Chains A and B, each alone.
Chain A
Amino acid sequence: MKFMNDKKIRLIVTTCILTLVLIIGVITSVNFLKFRNYNTEFVVREDVVGKIYKFSEFSKHLKGDVADSNIYEIQGTDNTVAIVKKDKLANYNKIDNIKGLSVCGVDGSSQYDAAKDVFTSNINVLATANDVYENVKSGTYEVGILSYKEAITLINNDQNENVDISDAIVEKVPSLLLIGGTHPNEPSGQLAATVVLENAKVKRGILYVITELNRSAYSYSQPQEGTTWYYHLKTKNGNTRTFKYGSRATNTVDQWPTPDVYTHSSGQQLSSSEVRNINRAYPGNEEGTYTEQIAWVVTNFVNQKDVTMVIDLHEASPEYLTINQCVYHQDAADIWSQMKINGFRYYNPEADKTQKLNMPADQSPLNMHGLTHREVGDYTNAYVFLFETSNASQGKIRGAFTEDLIKYSAPDKFYEALVKYDEEHDTSNIYGAPVEISERVARHVLSFESVITGFNKIKTTRVVTQTGRDNVGDGGVYVGEMILEEGTVPSYYDLIKYGVGNYLLDID
């Protein structure tokens, strides 16, 4: 082009093109940054969720970082707790430190009965929970034994607030850690955890919920997939809740470089991209890669809190073999047997009968490392389960990527065609036909309830791991049943009928 030979014109053209491209670049960058910094909101019911732990409390390098997510704790209302004066909280944080002190409890309460076995000194019997509270407040007794519900109500009603619940464990109860958001491109796991967080109430036991396990992977979308960044759900009152659709792996901005071959701490070698996959990074390492640091949160938390059950919620593409099923650690085989017999049942009002969801399962392979159902099971005392549902937006034969594809609120013509082809030709190109988000969430929520059902049936004391790794924590104690308050967790039928949005709370 002749005009480009003129130095002056060349300078003007170059500057114009450069400026135009930079403006586009700045707009794109701002959008990227907005997505990275967007915080998905979860409703925390103040009267139900007792504590919120930060990931950095269990893996120190994550402090204040993008991956410093939350673990929500829901205490059972009937759990036995010890109340002490606030200034004594630090000293009275272990059961051994409060055993010899003067203790009072409510006559005839189940908490009094549970505490009787623990305290070496006699427990002084008082008439009401309020008496116990007032006596601890005035200093007549150093420790008061109450149910969690009584304690939290009295503490919240008191203006002076100089009494609090001690960390000392008076009665061992079962606990469950529900993990959603392991892979941000598998939305039903996060939504199921959110539904449980925003609806469940516990009667006995402790429920821990993680809604965003790998927040770094929520900070960008999978390169070259052209995915939608956000998807929306309508709540019961017609308000909109926004969720992010992220990537499978940790952001390269947070973890770089990626080696050619990923060598797991067990020596297992995997393809390079798996180095940023949190479900290949367990048991994790506080001083390891960014992904390993996040994985360590789960292992460390489960060990520190002596968590009884862990459930990791996932999704897979419809053409993936492990789909609509459970994978369990071998130590949880007995629980799985009971789940198969007594779990996965739901009442169908239209047919007026209890129906059963088909749920096949595989035992976690002994030599496949880095996954929750292998490493968390091996490195902790917990019984570990992983569940998969069918997600068309992860699939490779999908059509255009839209919000409808994530929720599968409109059928994808390519998947529909393949399902039809399989039916007509008796082939298995698809192992789990894609279904709507509500049904996927319903499967996960029912699976969560079924794990509790199975656990309650076997009345287990902790078994020693078969893999012979160090057995940590306090094993061999029967911790009783875990009981959810009836009707608080939406049923499989209701979730499908009324939709998952109906069970999400409004953001204030």
Chain B
Amino acid sequence: MRVYYEFLFVFYLIFTIIIALFILWNIFKTKKITNIIIGSIALMMFLIRIFMIR
């Protein structure tokens, strides 16, 4: 069970980082200011989540 949880945890971390990179790429590409604001907030949320993981 512990191994299963550890595996899911790493899987989750990798996905969080990939999504964060996508958002970062998107906010520099988009021309809509709303997308930039939404993207920045989403990125902040992802970063908080990543750094809160021990």
List chain B residues, Cβ under 8 A from A21. Answer: 37, 40-41, 43-44
Known: A22-B44, A29-B52, A257-B8. A17 touches B28 (CB 8 A): no
How many residues on B have C-beta within 8 angstroms of the other chain's C-beta atoms?
Answer: 23
A470 contacts partner chain B, Cβ-Cβ < 8 Å: no
Which of B1, B9, B33 is in CB contact (< 8 Å) with A13?
B33
Bound complex: CA A17 to CA B36 (Å): 7
Which of A11, A22, A28, A256 is in CB contact (< 8 Å) with B28?
A11
> Residue of B at shortest CB range from A11?
B28
> Residue of A at shortest CB range from B32?
A4
> Residue of B at shortest CB range from A3?
B33
A25 contacts partner chain B, Cβ-Cβ < 8 Å: yes
**Nearest chain B CB to A247 CB, angstrom units:** 14
> Residue of A at shortest CB range from B51?
A29
How many residues on A have C-beta within 8 angstroms of the other chain's C-beta atoms?
Answer: 25
Chain A binding site: helix, strand, loop or mixed by DSSP?
helix
Bound complex: CA A254 to CA B33 (Å): 37
> Residue of A at shortest CB range from B48?
A29
Instruction: Pick the 8 closest A-B CB pairs, nearest first.
Output: A25-B44, A21-B40, A4-B31, A18-B40, A21-B44, A17-B40, A14-B36, A29-B48
Binding site for A on B (CB under 8 A): 1-2, 5, 8-9, 12, 27-28, 31-33, 36-37, 40-41, 43-44, 47-48, 51-54
**Could you show 22 A-B contacts with beta carbons less than 8 Å apart?**
A5-B31, A10-B31, A11-B28, A14-B36, A17-B27, A17-B33, A17-B40, A18-B43, A22-B40, A22-B44, A24-B44, A25-B44, A25-B47, A32-B48, A32-B52, A253-B52, A253-B54, A254-B54, A256-B5, A257-B5, A257-B12, A287-B1
Binding site for B on A (CB under 8 A): 1, 4-5, 10-11, 13-14, 17-18, 20-22, 24-25, 28-29, 32-33, 253-254, 256-257, 287-289
Beyond contacts A13-B36, A33-B52: 16 other A-B pairs, Cβ-Cβ < 8 A, are: A1-B33, A4-B31, A4-B32, A4-B33, A5-B31, A14-B27, A17-B33, A21-B41, A22-B44, A22-B47, A25-B44, A28-B48, A256-B5, A287-B1, A287-B2, A289-B5
